[in-house]
Amino acid sequence: MLPFARLTIIGLGLIGSSVARAVRAQMPVVRITGHDADPAVRERTVALGICDDVTDTAGAAVMDADLVILCVPVGAMGAVAAEFAADLPADAIVSDVGSCKQSVAEALLAVLPDAIIIPAHPVAGTEKSGPDAGFATLFKGRWCILTPPENAPEVAIERLRIFWQRLGADVEIMDARHHDMVLAVTSHLPHLIAYTIVGTADDLEGVTQSEVIKYSAGGFRDFTRIAASDPVMWRDVFLSNKDAVLEMLQRFSEDLSVLQRAIRYDKGDELEALFARTRNIRRSIVEQGQDDDAPDFGRKH
């Protein structure tokens, strides 16, 4: 039994186009309508053939949907929802894939006060953007976190859970505030650190650009992959999850000072104890199937 028959995807970039491809692969009879603000993205989506229909306006896209998923940057969610509010069927479920949940829930509720809104976050992605970057197996074996408001109908939560499970994801239900705190430390802070390190190296006088690139295998290279992530998406994530990110950044700064002290005063034991603890975390991530055990992330040399 299919959880939905008519899906609308708004925002046809990496995540939106991956949802379309995954639905095509796993639930081929579901009718998929897409919309994107960018005419070039709409044109490309038509050429890729991953939607049944691509509309010029958000309103036309949602008209007969039973599930609408917003796949635009988190700062654009409220404005997009306002665009289609008048055309949304009363029984449609509205969801999203935004990387922060509290601010998105508030933005959607403000413009869709009577709609059934079940926010979601598939914890899956790459540093690429746009409709060509998507792929059907992106969500396979990854977590998708649903953050339903307290009054959300159980049956709607269940339908969305089945939808994401059909795309290969493991589904978890969480409070939006808790989600934002957890993701601040597991995703948002690491991105901020990567953006900082790559920026610092780029600013260094006395180290030429060619040296930064030439010797990048020394750890720097893995940061550059994260720091290549979409600038608009990440600008919005930091501004939308401000409180949790600032809280985690404060803790991080304190821990960094402790390390700084340990280095200054030759406290090798302290350094080694921390590094042993962090190595175990890496081991657990691999054991739980969240990354590859191949050396150097399986890169071919």
Half-sphere exposure of 93 (CA within 13 A, CB side): 24
Backbone φ and ψ for 120, nearest 5 degrees, come out as -145, 155
Residue 135 tokens read as 């792929």
**Residue 279 beta carbon to ligand NAP: minimum distance, rounded to whole angstroms:** 26
With H, G, I as helix, E, B as strand and everything else as coil, classify residue 143: strand
> Considering only residues 20, 50, 51, 80, which one is a binding residue for ligand NAP as defined by CB under 6 A?
80
Q: Do residues 202 and 43 lie in contact, with contact meaning Cβ atoms separated by under 8 Å?
A: no
Residue 158 tokens read as 């269940």
- Of 25 and 274, nearer to ligand NAP (C-beta) is 25
- Of 31 and 128, nearer to ligand NAP (C-beta) is 128
**Residue 280 beta carbon to ligand NAP: minimum distance, rounded to whole angstroms:** 26
Provide, for the chain, the percentages of residues in helix, strand and coil under a 3-state DSSP scheme, each rounded to the nearest 5. 55, 10, 35
Beta bridge partners of 117: 94
- Of 11 and 148, nearer to ligand NAP (C-beta) is 11
With H, G, I as helix, E, B as strand and everything else as coil, classify residue 27: coil
Can residue 12 be called a binding residue for ligand NAP (CB under 6 A)? yes
Can residue 129 be called a binding residue for ligand NAP (CB under 6 A)? yes
Can residue 180 be called a binding residue for ligand NAP (CB under 6 A)? no
Contact code string over 32-51 relative to ligand NAP, x by CB under 6 A? ----xxx--x----------
Q: Do residues 188 and 248 lie in contact, with contact meaning Cβ atoms separated by under 8 Å?
A: yes
Count, residues near ligand NAP per rule CB under 6 A: 28
Distance CA 95, CA 163 (A): 11
Can residue 92 be called a binding residue for ligand NAP (CB under 6 A)? no
**Residue 153 beta carbon to ligand NAP: minimum distance, rounded to whole angstroms:** 24
- Of 93 and 103, nearer to ligand NAP (C-beta) is 103
Can residue 256 be called a binding residue for ligand NAP (CB under 6 A)? no
- Measured torsion, CA atoms of residues 280, 284, 286, 288, in degrees rounded to the nearest 10: 180
Query: What is the binding site for ligand NAP (CB under 6 A)?
Result: 10-16, 36-38, 41, 71-74, 76, 79-80, 97-99, 122, 125, 129-130, 230, 233, 237
